[in-house]
Each structure stands twice: as C-alpha cells, then as structure tokens.
Structure 1
Amino acid sequence: MRAEIRHVTEYRYQEPVWDSFNEVRLHPIRDERQNVLAFDISVTPDVPVSSHRDYFGNLIHHVHVHERHTLLRIEARTLVVTYPSRAPVPARVDSLDDHRAELTEFLIASPRIPTGRWADVFSVTAPLRGDDLPTFVLELTRMLYRRFKYTPGATDVRTPLTDFAASGRGVCQDYAHAMLGICRSLGIPARYVSGYIYAGADFVGAEASHAWVEVFLPGTGWMGYDPTNNTAVVEAHVKIGHGRDYGDVSPISGSYHGSTRGVLDVEVKVYDQQQ
C-alpha cells in the first residue's frame, strides 16, 4: 500500500503559555515491511525542529516554543509504502528458552503494565511447551477481539489495565496493553507498537493513532498482531515505533509554563494513493 498520512495536533489555551517543550513521535520507522518516501513536520508558532533517536531506535522530533502563545499546532505529513508481512515459521513455545535473556526488557513489568498474573486475570490458559507459538499468539489475538468491545471514550491513557479487564470496553491501547500483560506473564517477549491504520480496509482505529503488539517468534523475529481488529499486521498498518508500553511511544508529550489548561484536538487521515 502507498499511503499518505496527515496528522494534525492542536493545543489551544485560554491564557498565554510559554516555554512549551514537546517530544513528537510521528515519523514512521523504516524496516523490511515499510519504507518512508517523504516526511515533513510544520509547527505554529514557527520554531526550529530538531530530532534524535531514542533507546528503541524511534525518531523523535523536538518542538520548543519559548514565546508566549495561545495556540500550538503540529502537523506531520508522511508518504509511506507498506508491504505484506511474511508468514511466521512454526516454533515451539519452549524455543523461547534460548532468547529470553536477551529480551528481558520486553518480559518484565513496565509503568502501564505492572507485575501481575495477567493470564489469570484475562482467563488465558498457558500453552504447553511443545505447542506452536505462532498459533497460540494468533488465537490470543482472536480471543481478545471476541471478549472486548471497542468503545471510543470508554478509557483514556491513564486507565489501569485491571479496569479494562473488568469493564470489557476500551480502545486500541487497552487491547495492546492486555495482550502485552498476558504474553509477558507467560514468558513470551512482547512490545507495544504505535502507528496508523487505513480505514478503507474495514478496520477500526483509523480516526487517531493506532496501537498493536509485536511478539518475538524464534525463527521469524518480531511479528505484529492487532487484537483490536482480530488480525496479524497487514499492509494497512503503518508503524511509527515501539517500546515497552504506551508511555514509550506516545505521539506527543511535553510540558509548558502557565496556569491555564490546554484543549486538545487531533485529526488523523490516512489515504491510500493507489485507490
């Protein structure tokens, strides 16, 4: 898929604020499944934009507005080409024994996924050591899709995972955090992915940034699964970056000086140029 993405974020303030410092994570990653052809970021007020790569290899842009302002507008435009994911090779669950030591950071607790018996919380039976790992992960993806109802506004980024488990309603980051908690509690390395999804493929989650999970499969490597949409990652998915949970790859995070609270408005459009 050849996709054009327009992502606009606006913060409006009743009173002027100043020294607004923001980390922007909107540049898609380049890997075997996708290639970024063009990327542009514009800011109002007009300020220089710098960048660096974080610990996980994600590209972060820095937006620092010193002057007083009542509007901060950040617009990112991207042209990206995506390709089909390769099919995972069969792998026994116990084949993970040789890889866990090198992938510890994606097995232990993180700020939004505390230590817990998450497989029990979500009523997931642990696979046997001789079971096929890709089959188990795909079935887990399907189970989460069937069990929960995608409900915009039912949760926010601060909602505890236990609340999602109890309510049965949430959005993509809740599905992703649930799958991460289950996998990690079972000794399966898994990481959070932030990105976009094309609505024309009849998937939910295209009205904003989307989230899914990558699981490490011996013999294949990292493989993406989207429990919100009951699918392995396909060409309609555009990856921005990955981390331990949402906090590592939130689209925009920052701080400012001033006593007024901002009103946030976000608009995301993903266009398939081949349509």
Structure 2
Amino acid sequence: MKLRISHETTYGYDQPIRNLVQSLRLTPSIFEGQKTHDWRIEIPGGIRGPGFRDGAGDWVEGWTLRGPAEEVSVRISGHVETRDTAGVLRGHREMIHPLAYLRSTHATAPDKALREAAMSLETTGDHLELAHGLSALIAAAIAFRPGVTETHTTAAEAFALGQGVCQDHAHALITVARLRELPARYVSGYLHSTADGQAHEAAHAWAEIHVGNLGWVGFDAANRCCPDERYVRLGSGLDASDAAPIRGVAMGTGAERLAIRVQVEEMEQ
C-alpha cells in the first residue's frame, strides 16, 4: 500500500517565546514492512540541528528556533510504501536488549486489578499465544472512547475506568505483558483506517511484545489486530512519553496551546 502522510503540529503562545529547542522522532522506521519516499520535516523559521539513530533504531533530530515567536509549526509530509508482515518487525536494526523493556514506568505501573488480570490467562506456554490472549483481554476490558482520559492517564486508571483511547490500550497491554515476563514497548505512528475501513484522522499508537524467535510483534488492542499495511511505524519507547514524536522546551512565561492535524491517504497504485 502507498500512503501519503501530512502531519502538522502547531504550538500557540499567549506571550511570545524567546527560544525553542525540540527533539523530533518523526521519521518512519526502517524495516521490511515499510519504505519511505520524499520525507520532509520543516519548522518555518527553525534551524535543523544534528541527527542520529538511537539504540532503539529510531532516527532523532534536533531543531531550534529563535524568538520572539507567538506560534511554532512542525510540518511533516511524504509518502510511505507498506506491506503486511503480520505485525512482525523484521529487518529493524537496534542495539537495546529486549530485556530492557521489562522495566516499568509511572504510566505502566501495575495495580492489583492489572496483576490479577495478567495472571488470569492460562496458556500452553506458547509466548505468541499468550501475547494474543493479553491483547484480547485488554481490548475487552477497555472500550475505545475518546475524551474520557488524558495524556497523563496511567494504565491502571484507564483499566479501572474501562474506557480510553489507543494510548491507554497500549499502556495497559504493555503492563500486563511485562507482568507475564514478556518485554513490551510503546510504538507511535500513523494508521490509514480502522479495521472496518473508516478513516482514522489522528496519529496512532500500539504496543510491541517480544515473542521468542519471532522477535518484536505489534499488537493494536484498540483495533483488535496486529499492525498491517495500513500502519506506519515512527518510533518506540518504554511508554508514550518515552516514545513521543516531539519533545522540547520553550523559553517563555505564557500559556501554550496545541493543535494537531493529521491526514493519511492512500495513493493510486
């Protein structure tokens, strides 16, 4: 599948900022399931700094902008060729050992309810079967409902609420997988459409679980599937904060506003 992606994040400030420093993880991953063409990252008025590939295999680049500025836009455009690998992350070069992803964070810290849920599954000992079972468990426990959780909602809070968005599904799945001694991580990216073909107009997130000889396998509990050709992978981390596509610091005293626009369209074959 050939996908055209346009993504713009705009920050507005009620008082002009003096300077801005950002670290961007907005370049699609390199692996057998996707190939990137004509990818552009632009910050009008900004200065592109050095870039590097981190231990997780993600491309990270720095940007700075000198103020005063009342608005800053981060613009991404390009197209990606994708193919279905049944969720398996083949050909992705990284140096971090999978066992590092057993470490819990504030967002993925388990409580009693998550511990009981994780241990409730009985399996034959097959790790892939267990991973699929855990993903189905979270999909059933958390209904997809935008607007009921926030950026800082934890896995335990979303699980108790029984509602949330893709970030909450990913955090909860990561938590129960780690409780069963399966390394798991958070993945940020894009989704062309949901399983029923409806347009998906926002950036997306899912989990990857390390499964024996298969390596990393993606699981999207929010859509009850493994990533296929509709998905574009950007980067990963221990949780949503660690895998954030944009991280940075603005120097100023005013309040910040955020607007995001994402379009993922299929190109003519």
Scaled by the length of structure 2, the TM-score of the pair is: 0.89
Mapped pair 1:177 → 2:171: yes
Query: How much does 1:204 deviate?
Result: 7.5
Aligned to 1:243: 237
Aligned to 1:224: 218
Mapped pair 1:59 → 2:59: yes
RMSD over aligned CA atoms reads 2.3
Query: How much does 1:246 deviate?
Result: 1.0
User: Residues 12-61 of structure 1: CA distance to partner in whole angstroms, max 9, x if unpaired?
Assistant: 11211021111122111010111112210111224335422223121122
The change in CA–CA distance for 1:122 and 1:206 in structure 2 (over 3 A counts) is farther
Aligned to 1:17: 17
Aligned to 2:33: 33
Q: Which whole-Å CA distance do the structure 2 matches of 1:253 and 1:59 have between them?
A: 14
User: Residues 231-274 of structure 1: CA distance to partner in whole angstroms, max 9, x if unpaired?
Assistant: 01111111001111112211212111111011100001001113
Mapped pair 1:192 → 2:186: yes
User: How many corresponding residue pairs?
Assistant: 262
SS at match of 1:142: helix
User: Residues 168-202 of structure 1: CA distance to partner in whole angstroms, max 9, x if unpaired?
Assistant: 11111110010000000111111111111012653
Q: Does the CA contact (< 8 Å) of 1:116 and 1:185 recur in 2?
A: no
Q: Does the CA contact (< 8 Å) of 2:20 and 2:249 recur in 1?
A: yes
Q: Does the CA contact (< 8 Å) of 2:87 and 2:219 recur in 1?
A: no
Runs of 4+ deviating beyond 4 Å = 115-119
Mapped pair 1:45 → 2:39: no
Give the letter aligned to residue 104 of structure 2: A
The change in CA–CA distance for 1:105 and 1:200 in structure 2 (over 3 A counts) is closer
Query: How much does 1:2 deviate?
Result: 0.7
Q: Give ranges in structure 1 of 5+ residues lacking alignment.
A: 89-101
SS at match of 2:12: strand
Give the letter aligned to residue 151 of structure 1: R
User: Residues 115-147 of structure 1: CA distance to partner in whole angstroms, max 9, x if unpaired?
Assistant: 65564354651444x432222222222222222
Q: Give ranges in structure 2 of 5+ residues lacking alignment.
A: 89-96
Q: Does the CA contact (< 8 Å) of 2:220 and 2:227 recur in 1?
A: yes
Scaled by the length of structure 1, the TM-score of the pair is: 0.87
User: Residues 44-89 of structure 1: CA distance to partner in whole angstroms, max 9, x if unpaired?
Assistant: 224335422223121122121122100101100121111111487x
Give the letter aligned to residue 219 of structure 2: Y
Aligned to 1:97: none
The change in CA–CA distance for 1:132 and 1:48 in structure 2 (over 3 A counts) is closer
Q: Which whole-Å CA distance do the structure 2 matches of 1:178 and 1:49 have between them?
A: 35
